[in-house]
Chain A
Amino acid sequence: MTALTETPPEAAGVPAPAAKRKGGGLATYLIIRFLLIFPTILILVTLVFFLMRITGDPITAALGGRLPADQLAQRIHEAGYDRPILVQYFQYLGQIFTGNFGRTISDNRAVTEMLATFGSATLELAINAVVVALIIGIPLGMIAAHRRDKTPDAVLRIFAILSYATPVFFAGLLLKLVFSVWLGWLPVAGRASTSTEIALTSLAQPTGIYWLDALRSGNMSAFWDVESHAILPALALGLLTAGVFLRLVRTNLIGTLGRDYVEAGRSRGVSEFRLVTRHAYKPALIPIITVMGLQIALLLGGAVLTETTFEWKGLGFQLAQYLTARDFVAVQGIVVLLAVIVAVTNFIVDVVAALIDPRVRY
């Protein structure tokens, strides 16, 4: 792979980009890019639908062996799973379009409602983790780039590789062991202690994001309780992502630190600190933002494992529960929601990149 910034048109697999046409490109690009979300989601939904149905219908999977054959057949008929697969597929697409994901089989609740309830918990975890990752990853990446090939760089690179090599659930297990069990500083699992949880869920119009709810109700003890529960999961998932950010910042900063204008700044007497954090960092941001967007997939995958480790009742925790219960309607709902999130995030990232860098166009 060469490090060309401009992709050669014949390798692009798309009609040659209208690079020479000046102006007007941005709007077209944004519209095309927006429209591209839909085929991506459609493909994923289609793949998931047919893959899950190859091996049978969800009701047999969830209840097979526990119900007599005639009752089973009746429930399958009621749910419409005995109709031709294509009919079911198009009906499913129509339902998704109107936001109706059906009802879960194991606990018979609306999938949409389930997604809303647990989605906010996952959102909270993801935000916390990104904050941790940014706070740790970016400064360390700057240090590594600045002290390239010296001891700090070597140490930080090993840290980055270790953070990649450690599965998030093992990191979580170690954190739990040290900080909750041995030191007893932080709670072992969950999102809040029971009394706080009751207080927060009984609020009028809860957002589901606990620290926000606690702040809004002005309940500071609840806020600290929620935060102390949030630290370990955020650290486990954040450290994993921090390693990626560290490497990204390092490689891109090394690239820009070698440019002439940085040297020129140095000769004018700009401090090394300012050179790294301002002059070289800003142009290095574009590729960093782009790849950060791709990390959302990594983050969501990691969230599933982190939530299971810490009994953090979000989408990932539920996913594991529904998987064990073989409730594939619920699983399908969660997977489709995550697909939409990934597609939309990638769109936002591309828009941001296009706004920053005028060269990114069709």
Chain B
Amino acid sequence: MTTQTLPQLERREPLWRRLPVLSHLRNSVGLQRGMLIAGLVLTAIFLLMALLAPLVAPYGFSQISDASGDFPTQDPPSAQHIWGTTVGGFDVFSRVVWGAQTAVLVIVVAVALSIFAGVALGLASGYIGGWLDRVLVVVADAVYAFPSLLVAIVMSIVISHGQSSLWGGILAAAISITVVFIPQYFRVVRAEAIRLKAEPFVESAKVLGASSWRIMARHIFRNATRSIPLIFTLNASEAILTLAGLGFLGFGIEPTSAAEWGFDLNKAISDVTAGIWWTGVFPGLAIVLTVLGLTLVGESMNDLADSRLRTRGRSRKQRTTTARTSDSVAPAAHAVPGVAAGAEASTGQEGGQA
């Protein structure tokens, strides 16, 4: 009897139901569902634009002439250049499309690096503890408290002295952003690791003779990283803003090696004074819509993961049961009350834009 029922108990739901985004979509209703879907659509457009840039863009990102001669400069939107051209003769539409590709590359590299480093440091710090933990916490708090854009600026000076080719620029931007984000992953994973360290299953693993390495890599890692997808989407949007901020300050990637929205906006500032709006508005809108899409996805997932914030279908929640909400009321689980009081390490969503 038991031998027959056991396999049934262990069977999981099919994979497609457990995928983060899809399962969230099934659980959502009403406004929340609308926000999630809107976010997913915007994000999908962004990704498609990045992926299909060579097909979508009519010209190259640094192309200033074609068979019929040089492109006009600062030309208003027309049939040939639907979003106009810049002062350097670049086609604005093409640069916006290629800019998506640059943004995706930077986000992927930056978030992958920071998850890797942040999770590793957080696990080690939380599980091993001791002086290593103290030092890492103090450094992470100091970096976390500092304006993230300035951290990124300092890092990009260190890495490339501010000059950049395509991959050099992408790597510099990505690593600069990584340094900003490591503390966020670090804090979440560390707090979880500390909590899990006291769990019976870790103790049993110890009793069975598992090495610290195995406990960290298997038992704690699997359980401590559940909230990572949430931080991931929120960080992806922050990464775009940081990249644009760097580019705006002239730390971007050279216009001839890749298209970058922040850099284009910097060039557009002087155009605006002369009433030339198309060089700035389109890259700016691209940033806003991309960040909006990613934020909507992240927010919705965050709210859905927190039963207190989830909007339910028909049954209205009673006023008395809504009591506390998670944002900002919770001090970071490990925060020394002084050093980082009240920081919501879990999502960093208020921490916002550089």
Question: Interface residues, chain A, CB within 8 Å of chain B?
Answer: 1-5, 7-8, 10-14, 17, 29, 32-33, 36, 39-40, 43-44, 47-48, 51-52, 54-55, 61, 149, 154, 161-162, 164-170, 173-174, 176-177, 180-182, 188-189, 240, 244, 247-248, 251-252, 254-255, 257-260, 263, 287-288, 290-291, 293-295, 297-298, 300-302, 304-305, 308-309, 319-320, 323-324, 326, 328, 331, 335, 338-339, 342-343, 346-347, 349-350, 353, 360-362
Contact = CB atoms under 8 A, between A and B. Distances in A.
Interface string B119-143: 0000000000000011001110111
Contact of B273 (A188, A260, A288, A346): A188
Contact of B237 (A165, A248, A257): A165
Interface stretch (B9-17, B53-61, B67-75, B150-158): B150-158
Contacts of A14: 336
Given A173-B281, A304-B249, 19 more contacts: A1-B330, A3-B330, A7-B333, A8-B333, A40-B138, A43-B142, A161-B292, A167-B248, A167-B262, A173-B280, A258-B322, A294-B342, A298-B147, A298-B353, A305-B248, A338-B146, A342-B145, A349-B341, A353-B342
Contacts of B248: 167, 169, 305, 308
Contact of A1 (B143, B191, B292): B191
B326 interface: yes
B147 A61 contact: no
Contacts of B345: 1
B195 interface: yes
B41 interface: no
Contacts of B191: 1, 11
B194 to A, nearest CB: 5
Given A251-B329, A304-B149, A61 B198 contact: no
Contacts of B280: 170, 173, 177
B275 A181 contact: yes
A258 B319 CA distance: 6
Contacts of A319: 153
B329 A252 contact: yes
B207 interface: no
The 5 closest A-B pairs by CB, nearest first: A290-B342, A1-B346, A301-B147, A170-B284, A165-B291
Nearest to A335: B150
A55 B319 CA distance: 59
Given A154-B31, A165-B237, A298 B351 contact: yes
Interface of B: 31, 133-134, 137-139, 141-143, 145-150, 153-155, 157-158, 161-162, 188, 191, 194-195, 198, 227, 237, 241, 244-245, 248-251, 262, 265-266, 268-269, 272-275, 277, 280-281, 284, 287-289, 291-292, 295-296, 299, 308, 311, 319-339, 341-346, 350-354
A310 B327 CA distance: 34
Contacts of B326: 1, 3, 251
B153 to A, nearest CB: 7
B198 A10 contact: yes
23 contacts: A2-B333, A12-B335, A36-B338, A52-B157, A149-B311, A161-B299, A165-B292, A167-B241, A173-B280, A181-B272, A247-B327, A258-B319, A258-B320, A298-B353, A300-B147, A304-B147, A305-B354, A319-B153, A331-B157, A342-B147, A343-B145, A360-B337, A362-B338
Contacts of A173: 265, 268-269, 272, 280-281, 284
A154 B162 CA distance: 42
Contacts of A43: 138-139, 142
A339 B268 CA distance: 31
A309 B273 CA distance: 11
A177 B272 contact: yes
B284 A7 contact: no
Contacts of B245: 167, 169, 301, 305
Which of A173, A181, A323, A361 has most chain B Cβ within 10 Å? A173
Contacts of B249: 304-305, 308, 320, 323
B323 A255 contact: yes
Contact of B338 (A240, A339, A342, A350): A350
A161 B31 CA distance: 14
Nearest to A244: B350
A251 B354 CA distance: 23
Contacts of A295: 350
A46 to B, nearest CB: 10
B299 A44 contact: no
Contacts of B141: 40
A40 B339 contact: yes
A305 B245 CA distance: 7
Contacts of B145: 40, 294, 297, 342-343, 346
Contact of A40 (B142, B311, B331, B337): B142
Contacts of A61: 161
A258 B323 contact: yes
A176 B149 contact: no
A94 B334 CA distance: 33
A1 B344 contact: yes
A195 B178 CA distance: 46
Which of A7, A324, A360 has most chain B Cβ within 10 Å? A7
Contacts of B287: 165-167, 170
A326 to B, nearest CB: 7
Nearest to A320: B249
A288 B342 CA distance: 9
A3 B251 CA distance: 40
Contacts of A40: 138, 141-142, 145, 339
